[in-house]
Amino acid sequence: MRKMITALLALVLVAACTQESGEESDFYAGKNISYIVATNAGGGYDTYARLIAGYLQKYLPVDNVIIRNVPGAGHIVGANTLWRSKPDGLTIGTFNAGLIYGQLVGSDGFDFDLRDFAWVGKASGEPRSIVVSDNCAIKSMADLIAAEEPVKFGSAGVGSASHSDTMLLASALDLNVDIISGFTGTEGEMSMMRGELCAILGSTSSFKNFIDAGYGHFILSIGGDMEGVPHARDFAKTETSRRLVSIIDALARLGRISAAPPQTPDDRLETLRAAYRASLEDPELLAEAEKIGIPIDPAYGDDVRQLVVDALDQTPETVELIRKAINGGGQ
Amino acid sequence: MDLSGIFDALLTIVGSPYHMLLLLIAVPVGMFFGAIPGLGGKLGVVLAIPFVFGMEATAGALFLIAMHSVVHTGGAVPSILFGVPGTGPDAATIVDGLPMTRNGEAGRALGAAFGASGLGGVIGALFLLAVLPLLRPVVLAFSPAEFFLLALFGITLIAMLSGDSLIKGLLVGFFGLMMAFVKLDPQTGIQRYTFDMLFLWDGVDIITAVLAIFAIPEMISLGVAGGAMAQVDKVTTSYGLAGVFRGIGDVFRHWGLSIRTALIGAFIGMIPGLGGDAASWICYGHAVQSSKTPERFGQGAVEGVIAPETANNSKEGGSLLPTLFFAVPGSSGMAILLGAFVMLGIQPGPGLALTGMDIVWVLIWGLMLANVIAVLMFIIVAPSLGYLSYVRGNLLIPLVLALTFLGAFLSHMAWENMALLVVLSVLGYYLKKYHWPRPPFVIGLILGPIAEDSFHKAMALWGPAFLLRPGAMIMLGLTVFSIVFYIWRLVSGKNKPEQTHAG
């Protein structure tokens, strides 16, 4: 009796396999995928992951795609965790592309090499921009470049994406800025409203409410083009400054990346990439993303890998510039 | 103000069985997320977002606000019964809530916590209404300079919470401050006392520290002493409904304190950046400071439960203000709510005052109704909760320890926090054993980073002249007054407060 049931089950399984697209999607049948998010629940990375997870579930025969929040040390803990996860195709993860800076200058705590992750894709870039407060005398890039007094910029702190980007851009375009750290979340926006900080360089989408409410306006974009707002490359005159701007630009264009641990088997990686692509092209996902107000601008597989590899390929001089910029010249 | 609009909104909620049903579902869910250590309201909202996704704006917003506003009502329960705070802002409730349980007054403490939470929530919502016209100048008056001095004022409260020995209190407080410096220096990126361990880069987790300092030592001493949490000879009447109602009555007997702490809580909630942990400890300190018999605190004074519980619920009303009208969230939980509101089609910002006031009224009413419903629901289950304090220690300890370790892990999703929990609980145990005051440690840990961070910002913005800003002078005056008051109290009347504050 038991043998008969087993045989019957095997038969059903075989039938299911031949019906499905291939053996690898069969591997996923009835399993769970963990999606590691390198921040706490609720941030931008978490929002993207939760949105995509629902659709991965639709395109893979898995039972569940489970979000695992692994926050800490500015995304490093999450990336380390993904690096050490079993490369069986059942774990993927998302973290800040800004870790590229850290790898370039050899920061502490990095167990991983970004080149070796099995890249699945990116959901969207994360364009940056400079927003200036309406309380501030600086109204345009021309004002900023000509500023004689240091212009007060806010940042979350040394090591954060906002800090590194601001330092790099200031050194690229020779801007006279005074970066004041410690403004996390929306504290920087409050400070601009009080007339303390003049400007912030940050993720464009995070300023949406601030701009819509009429407290300030954009004067520069980077990592994406914005109508009526100049791009940083327009101001990069020398070879060095073009180089630095192109790094910030490349990282911003990478944005919301997802990867699997290194040495994930090729066939499973391909299955994951296909499901990721199908999810991000699903009209329902696009509609949902529009409703929650997050942009979708995807790239897949080896294209993303290539972007990461290119961003990590810098001359020692540029690396030295970056090191100076993100350490505040201090170390 | 548009009165008919205000009452139409009430009718929208109460007149619709669907909306009332949503409230009845949201309230216990929110309290659950509060009562399990390490979960918290933020995660609750994140997990609820997929469920409200398809709802229309009013229903969805009502559900989320109701859920989020009663988290700390639920969070008080494990604080009082086991010394395990459900959420960070419920930690201050332990200091007197737990001794009340030990005195056999668990029911009364729970009643006081629910009553205070409910009242705090309602006052917070009323505060929201009252402050609407002055919102912008008041919120914008608080810069890093005022933050720094407010944190400094909070730190002087250590003196109030030191009990019989100011020196002991200060030592413990400074130790807490020292622990607050363990993290990546935000100004230079240099690692401070992190010993190359990544989980310390973001600082010592407050929930873990509170669990280690309060919950574990209680469980150890319960294990050593035997018996149940309630250290009374026989089951008293106080775990029944009578005790619960007595506790609720206490909230109104101390009506002056209840209203003051609710207002302080709402006020602190309104200013983005200070947070609920600071609000509840500052209110606890205020309760001790303003009491005629401060020596009762830490021994099971009902005011010590009322003050933090009114504050942590009323701050929700306060923090909704900048979230809705500036689109600048008053807390990290509110930041997630803000995202959810946008998803539901509500566009926060100054424009809301012109176009979306009907939804604002719905939210205000939702806040009040949820708080009232939470109290009513809890009164029903309070007697059985209170009975838990008579459960034998050997049955209770494993459960509470499991909760404690779970809380330490969940709060930062890091196993290392469980190791930190063990290390710090050794400190907690000896502090308890030798009757050293424990609250100053937590105050130092919570207010230290606020003080450090805002000091740096204020110095970078204005240099030392930041002390001359009008708001800063007022805060400075308050701090000086607080110190003088303390000294005056030591000198006049009693020679010194007799009782320990070991809690």
Interface test with A, best of B52, B197, B198 (most A CBs within 10 A): B198
Confidence of residue B499 (pLDDT cuts 50, 70, 90): very low
Q: Which residue has the higher pLDDT, B388 or B494?
A: B388
What stretch(es) of chain A map to CATH 3.40.190.150?
A: 31-125+255-314
Are β-strands A256-260 and A118-122 bridged in parallel, bridged antiparallel, or unpaired?
antiparallel
A29 touches chain B (CB under 8 A): no
Nearest Cβ partner for A209 among B186, B327, B413: B327
Provide the mean pLDDT of chain B. 86
A193 touches chain B (CB under 8 A): yes
A323 touches chain B (CB under 8 A): no
**Percent residues over pLDDT 90 in chain B:** 33
In a domain, B426, yes or no: yes
How confident is the model over B320-340, as a mean pLDDT?
81
What are the helix (H) ranges across A133-216? 141-146, 161-173, 187-193, 208-212
Which residues in chain A touch residue B53, judged by CB atoms under 8 angstroms apart?
A: 288
Instruction: Please state, as a whole number, how many other Cβ atoms lie within 10 Å of the Cβ of residue B493.
Output: 9
Are A262 and A116 in contact by the 8 Å Cβ rule? The answer is yes
Please name which of A109, A79, A99 lies closest in space to residue A312, comparing C-alpha atoms.
A99
Are β-strands A151-155 and A177-181 bridged in parallel, bridged antiparallel, or unpaired?
parallel
- Which chain A residue is nearest to residue B54, measuring alpha carbons? A288
Host H or E run for residue A92: strand A91-96
**pLDDT per residue as tens digits for the range A10-40:** 544 444 444 444 556 688 998 999 999 998 8
Q: Quote the number of domains for chain B.
A: 1
**pLDDT per residue as tens digits for the range B12-28:** 888 889 999 999 999 99
In a domain, B501, yes or no: no
Instruction: Please state, as a whole number, how many other Cβ atoms lie within 10 Å of the Cβ of residue B218.
Output: 24
**Sign of the dihedral through C-alpha B456, B457, B458, B461:** positive
The confidence score (pLDDT) of residue A330 equals 41
Which residues in chain A touch residue B185, judged by CB atoms under 8 angstroms apart?
A: 158
* A214 φψ region: left (φ > 0), alpha (ψ -120 to 50), beta (else): left
What stretch(es) of chain A map to CATH 3.40.190.10?
A: 128-251
Interface test with A, best of B139, B413, B461 (most A CBs within 10 A): B413
Host H or E run for residue B280: helix B275-290
In a domain, B498, yes or no: no
In a domain, B499, yes or no: no
**Least Cα separation, residue A209 to chain B (angstroms):** 6
**Sign of the dihedral through C-alpha A300, A301, A307, A308:** positive
What is the topology classification, in CATH, of domain A128-251?
D-Maltodextrin-Binding Protein; domain 2 (3.40.190)
Window A:151-190, CB contacts with B under 8 Å: 152, 156-159, 178, 180-183, 185-187, 189-190
Q: What are A105's two structure tokens?
A: 């200058």
**pLDDT per residue as tens digits for the range A196-254:** 999 999 988 888 888 888 899 999 999 988 889 999 999 999 988 998 899 999 999 99
By CB atoms closer than 10 A (0-12, 13-18, 19+), residue A194 is: middle
Are A90 and A49 in contact by the 8 Å Cβ rule? The answer is no
The confidence score (pLDDT) of residue B503 equals 40
The confidence score (pLDDT) of residue A299 equals 94
Are β-strands B183-184 and B191-192 bridged in parallel, bridged antiparallel, or unpaired?
antiparallel
**A31-125+255-314 under CATH 3.40.50.300, yes or no:** no
Angle at B220 between CA B218 and CA B223, to 5 degrees: 110
Please name which of B197, B160, B132 lies closest in space to residue B501, comparing C-alpha atoms.
B160
In a domain, B307, yes or no: yes
**Sign of the dihedral through C-alpha B355, B356, B360, B362:** positive
Q: What are B54's two structure tokens?
A: 């398809």
Number of H helices and E strands in chain A, helices first, is 14, 11
- The Cα A91–Cα A68 span in angstroms is 10
Of A170-179, B136-145, B224-233, the one with minimum mean pLDDT is B224-233
Window A:277-316, CB contacts with B under 8 Å: 288, 291-293
Of A79-93, B264-278, B445-459, the one with minimum mean pLDDT is B264-278
